[in-house]
Amino acid sequence: MLKSDRPITILGIETSCDETGAAIIERGQDGRGTILSNIVRSQLREHEAFGGIVPEIAARAHIESLDRLIDSAMADAGIGFQTLSAIAVTAGPGLIGGLLVGTVTAKAIGMVRGLPVIPVNHLEGHALTVGLTENVEPPYLLLLVSGGHTQILAVHDVGDYQRLGTTLDDALGEAFDKTAKLLGLGFPGGPQVERWAQGGNPRRFALPRPMMGRPEAHFSFSGLKNALRLEASKIAPLHDRDIRDLCASFELAVTEAVSDRVKTAMNAYQNLHANRKSWRLVAAGGVAANRKLQTALSDLATEKGFTLHVPPVSLCGDNAAMIAWAGAEHFVRNLPYERGFSARARWPLDGNAPRAIGAGVKA
Ligand code: KG4
Ligand code: ZN
């Protein structure tokens, strides 16, 4: 890990989606990270009735709790603002209302306390979390699977990302969420589908494995979701046994499709780093918490000469510790950032990646 001449302490703020987060991390001179506090307030209850996230409700909920969360994070860490080296705040991508709440709050504290405010890409937060938890630093291959994003990237260095694959339609977490909604399982869908899949028969329904065998490491999940809808409507009304089997079949189809796409990306990555004997695969984002997916990725990693690194479940989902850590990694490297930055609903990690052929409006 990159060393620094003094330890640095960062306040992280996360408000890009439906989780309000405030955290304090310390990055020691040896480059090791310590979480001093990490508070996440989920808005699940506010959005539950709608079966998905309502942007305005999300923004209002961030306003109502962010100041108190920051107070609590500071108190839990046992520090005052004078101890901070900088503030790191998610500036995108995400829901613009929520991003504005976080960025304005960060700028206000920064102005009053004379602290630098570093705009952090939410995806970079997920991408670098393994540095905080396991000391794993770039280069590595990254599978980023969350509710809004599904990508495979070569992480060359902090701030240097090359996209090798992306989804052409839905994000993987979105596919889990829509499947759960269809089956009446509640929100967010990923953990529900995972729970119901336990003990189900994954071979009962022959669902497609989208994009398998394609030369580029792109994904697609909307066809799979529709195939599941068809199977479910054929056997309606659904009994618990049917729901368990549908969830298990969905999970298996997803796991096999994702493994195939990751394998394709591994080949491309090994060509980029042909002089190495072993390579690293990192899985991050909310869906990386899925145990079947982790097991499949672990088997694949062993087969291809990679080691697999996944953050603990508590840091797979959205949180502010990962934002603080990404900010710290930028801070110690003196990477440039815009002082008058604004929030960005769209902010790709690899700004040079071309639009994937066949990608729909959301991809
Ligand atoms: O990274 P994240 O917390 O928020 C975004 O940035 O999107 O990811 C949330 C997504 C949701 O779609 C949720 O259903 C999914 O991650 N998820 C899971 C699991 N836990 C969360 N998907 C599958 N299996 C899980 N265990
Ligand atoms: Zn996320």
Is 360 within the bounds of a domain? no
What ligand has the least distance to the C-alpha of 95? 1
Determine the pLDDT at residue 37: 98
Mutation test residue for ligand 1: of 122, 176, 322, the one with most atoms within 8 Å of CB: 176
How many angstroms does the Cα of residue 316 sit away from the middle of ligand 1?
8
Please give the structure tokens belonging to residue 263.
């394998």
Residue 197 phi/psi, 5-degree rounding, is: -70, -20
Centre of ligand 2 to C-alpha 60, Å, is 19
65: CATH: 3.30.420.40
Shortest-distance ligand to the CA of residue 293:
1
Q: What is the rounded CA–CA span in Å between residue 8 and residue 331?
A: 9
112 and 255 share one domain? no
CB 125 within 8 A of CB 90: yes
196 alpha carbon to ligand 2 midpoint, in Å?
A: 23
From ligand 2's centre to the CA of 147, what distance in Å? 7
Residue 302 predicted with pLDDT over 80 = yes
Strand partners, 150: 145
Region 22-26 average pLDDT: 98
Residue 14: CB within 6 Å of ligand 1?
no
Instruction: Report residue 51's pLDDT band, with 50, 70 and 90 as the boundaries.
Output: confident
Tell me: do 65 and 100 sit in the same domain.
yes
C-alpha 322/C-alpha 57 separation (Å) is: 24
Nearest C-alpha neighbor of 168 from the set 361, 354, 359: 359
Q: Are residues 300 and 326 in the same domain?
A: no
Instruction: Taking residues 222-244, report their average pLDDT.
Output: 96
What is the Å distance from ligand 1's center to 286 Cα? 3
- Cis peptide leading into residue 139 (ω within 30°): yes
Tokens coding 69: 């969360």
Cβ atoms of residues 308 and 283 within 8 Å:
yes
Residue with CA closest to ligand 1 atom 16? 286
| Domain shared by 149 and 296, yes or no | yes
Q: How many domains does the chain have?
A: 2
Instruction: Please tell me if the CB atom of residue 21 comes closer than 6 angstroms to any atom of ligand 1.
Output: no
Question: Cα Rg for the chain, rounded, in angstroms?
Answer: 20
Q: Specify whether the CB–CB gap between 224 and 253 falls below 8 A.
A: yes
Residues 50 and 184 in one domain: no
At 360 the pLDDT is 64
Pocket test for ligand 1, best of 90, 146, 254 (most atoms within 8 A of CB): 146
Closest ligand to the CA of 19: 1
By most ligand atoms within 8 Å of CB, the mutation choice from 90, 224, 287, 323 for ligand 1 is: 287
Residue 96 resides in a domain: yes
**Which of ligand 1's atoms lies nearest the C-alpha of 147?**
7
Domain range holding 205? 140-313
Instruction: Indicate if the pLDDT at residue 359 is higher than 80.
Output: no
pLDDT given for residue 361 in this prediction: 52
Domain co-membership, 250 together with 294: yes
Do 181 and 326 lie in a common domain?
Answer: no
Nearest alpha carbon to residue 253 among 292, 209, 222? 209
356 found inside a domain: no
| 126-136 tens-digit pLDDT | 999 999 999 99
Tens-place pLDDT, residues 249-272: 999 999 999 999 999 999 999 999
Examine the domain organization and report whether 173 and 290 are in the same domain.
Answer: yes
- The answer to whether residue 354 sits within a structural domain is no
In a domain, 222, yes or no: yes
Q: Is 160 left (phi over 0), alpha (psi -120 to 50) or beta?
A: beta
Nearest CA to ligand 1 atom 23: 190
Query: Any alpha helices (H) in the chain, and if so which ranges?
Result: 44-48, 55-77, 96-113, 122-134, 172-182, 189-197, 222-235, 240-272, 291-304, 313-316, 321-333
pLDDT above 60 (res 49): yes
Given a contact cutoff of 8 angstroms between Cβ atoms, the answer to whether 35 and 58 are in contact is no
- The pLDDT, as a whole number, for residue 89 is 98
- Identify whether 361 is part of a domain: no
Report if residue 201 sits inside a domain. yes
Dist CA 191 CA 351 (whole Å): 32
| Pair (44, 164) in one structural domain | no
Does ligand 1 have an atom closer than 6 angstroms to the CB of 171?
no
Calculate how far, in angstroms, residue 338's C-alpha sits from the geometric centre of ligand 2: 23
Between CA 76 and CA 64 the distance in angstroms is 20
Q: Return the pLDDT at 5.
A: 87
Q: Which long-range contacts (CB under 8 A, 24 or more apart) does 345-348 make?
A: 345/92, 345/93, 345/94, 345/95, 345/96, 345/99, 346/92, 346/93, 347/91, 347/92, 347/93, 347/121, 347/122, 347/123, 348/93, 348/163
The pLDDT mean for the chain works out to 95
Residue 357, in any domain of the structure:
no
Do 25 and 332 meet the contact criterion of CB atoms below 8 Å apart?
no
- The β-bridge relationship of strands 140-145 and 279-284 is parallel
77 and 93 co-located in one domain: yes
- 177/249 same-domain check: yes
Same domain, 21 and 119: yes
| Tokens 């969420």, residue located | 177
- Burial of 337 per CB tally in 10 Å (0-12, 13-18, 19+): middle
